[in-house]
Amino acid sequence: MKVILRNPRREIVIDGRRRVHALLAELDLTREGHLVIRNGTLVPGDAELDRDDVIEIRPVISGGA
Amino acid sequence: MKCRTCREPAIIDLPRHNANFCAEHFLQLCRRQVAKAIHDHEMFTASDRILVAVSGGKDSLAVWDLLVDLGYRADGLYIALGIGEYSDESRGYAERFAAERGLVLNVVSLREEYGYDVPTAAKATGRVPCSACGMSKRHLFDKAALDGGYDVVVTGHNLDDEAAVLFGNALRWDVEYLARQLPVLPARHGFPRKVKPLIRLTEREMAAWCVVRGIDYIIEECPMAVGNRHLGYKEALNALEEKSPGTKASYYLGFLDRMAPLLAELAATGADSVRPCARCGAATGVADEHAVDGEIVCAFCRLVERSAAHAPVSVDLVRKKSRAERRATMEVEAR
Ligand code: SF4
Ligand SMILES: [Zn+2]
Ligand SMILES: [Zn+2]
């Protein structure tokens, strides 16, 4: 699957299927700090992501005081 | 995963509620949390005129959307800070949001109206950028609210923001700041009321609100925010939250419930007397005032004077570099 990461924007390719929480863990990303979006729709932690999905992992923590 | 309310497929898991929600019931939860914050803290009523501080980021657009959705009368104010591309882009998001929904967005440009921008102010005054920026924004939001006849200024501070500030204040035992860290700052002479309706919702929930509602917002960070302490506190709290969901809410909301009342007396003594600035007329607290040729001049007017006289400075000159960037520069220099 194609995974789009932000700040800075970049793309990586992951082989095979994954559950959302497993993908986050693999990339060392916290659940509380990210949203996972498939084709414009949010997906919860136990959703299964397919080989041909395009996934955006969007960080949600902003630093401005 | 199924929605706790309707058993349809869920789109989000919220560990702190030990539940999952579909889009419709997630939105309902957000609306209820905001309505509860507004009600419990008596933030405003349906007849009040509200001015929302809009940055083009998720929180300010979400709070504006939520207030309009709940039936309140709310206009926006965007301040063009002159922080390079980041400012140009964020302004575009704010303007598109307002235009698509037929909402009123006022814009104040630091460069066009006051002759400076945030990077230049930081350089000219020796302040860190966020301090020059925060001071400018506070002054201009107060001014816009008073000039425009608004009853209240709304900001998009969420639970993560407030918990992180609380954490910082508690680490330093800054008791005066702790006493005043409340979701409502009452109006006092020359200052509008300021309120934070998102204190019961997390950053992740606000980003999710935007995704579900189809709100485009600026995802990129302000380049001045890189590596600031605030961000470190948020990461620390989120590490605790992952192990023990609900930590942030019980920390901050418990503070409001049980600790803030004990500090109330101290908060009241902070409401010092104010005098008008000789240049702009803004109410100026004793701590902020400063005599120039025997006149009271507010901190904002002094900042404008020094910054507008300074040659424009680019973002890159004043921003801190991230660790990765510093490493890259060192590698280039070592060659
Ligand atoms: S991060 Fe700092 S400089 Fe950037 S908008 Fe926020 S307060 Fe201003
Ligand atoms: Zn539902
Ligand atoms: Zn002044």
CA A61 to chain centre: 15
User: Measuring from atom 7 of ligand 1, which residue has the nearest CA?
Assistant: B130
What local confidence, expressed as pLDDT, does residue B325 receive? Answer: 57
In chain A, the domains with their CATH numbers are 2-59 (3.10.20.30)
In chain B, the domains with their CATH numbers are 31-334 (3.40.50.620)
Give start and end residues of each alpha helix (H) in B13-128: 23-40, 58-69, 84-101, 118-125
Q: Which amino acid is at A38?
A: R
What local confidence, expressed as pLDDT, does residue B333 receive? Answer: 45
What local confidence, expressed as pLDDT, does residue A48 receive? Answer: 95
Are A34 and B204 an interchain contact pair (Cβ–Cβ within 8 Å)? yes
Residue B20: list chain A partners with CB under 8 A. 44
Burial class (CB within 10 angstroms; exposed 0-12, middle 13-18, buried 19+) of B306: middle
What local confidence, expressed as pLDDT, does residue B64 receive? Answer: 98
What local confidence, expressed as pLDDT, does residue B11 receive? Answer: 97
Closest-CA residue in chain A for B21? Answer: A44
Q: Kindly list the distances between the CA atom of residue B10 and the CA atoms of A41, A47, A58, B1, B91, in Å, as whole numbers in the listed order.
A: 11, 9, 19, 6, 33
By Cβ distance, the residue of B211, B225, B230 closest to A35 is: B211
B90 touches chain A (CB under 8 A): no
By Cβ distance, the residue of B13, B206, B219 closest to A6 is: B219
What local confidence, expressed as pLDDT, does residue B335 receive? Answer: 46
Are B13 and A6 an interchain contact pair (Cβ–Cβ within 8 Å)? no
- B138, B328 Cβ separation under 8 angstroms: no
Q: Is the pTM higher than 0.95?
A: no
What are the DSSP E strand ranges found in chain B? 12-14, 19-21, 49-54, 73-80, 105-109, 152-154, 184-185, 193-195, 274-276, 283-285, 291-292, 295-296
Reported ipTM: the value is: 0.96
Tell which residue, B84, B49, B83, has the closest CA to residue B67.
Answer: B49
- B61, B214 Cβ separation under 8 angstroms: no
Residue A41: list chain B partners with CB under 8 A. 11
CA–CA dist B202, B219 (Å, integer): 16
CA–CA dist B8, A48 (Å, integer): 17
The series of mean pLDDT values per 10 residues for chain B, 335 residues long, is 96 96 98 98 97 98 98 98 96 98 98 97 93 95 96 98 97 94 92 97 98 96 84 94 97 97 83 82 77 84 96 84 56 48
- What does the pLDDT look like over A14-61, one tens digit per residue? 999 999 999 999 999 999 999 999 988 999 999 999 999 999 999 999
**Which pair of tokens denotes residue B100?**
């698509």
CA–CA dist B75, B53 (Å, integer): 9
Closest-CA residue in chain A for B204? Answer: A60
What local confidence, expressed as pLDDT, does residue B330 receive? Answer: 53
**Ligand 1 pocket, Cβ-based, cut-off 6 angstroms:** A 64-65; B 81, 118, 129-130, 133-134, 222, 224-225
How many Cβ pairs closer than 8 A exist between chain A and B?
88
Residue A45: list chain B partners with CB under 8 A. 1, 13
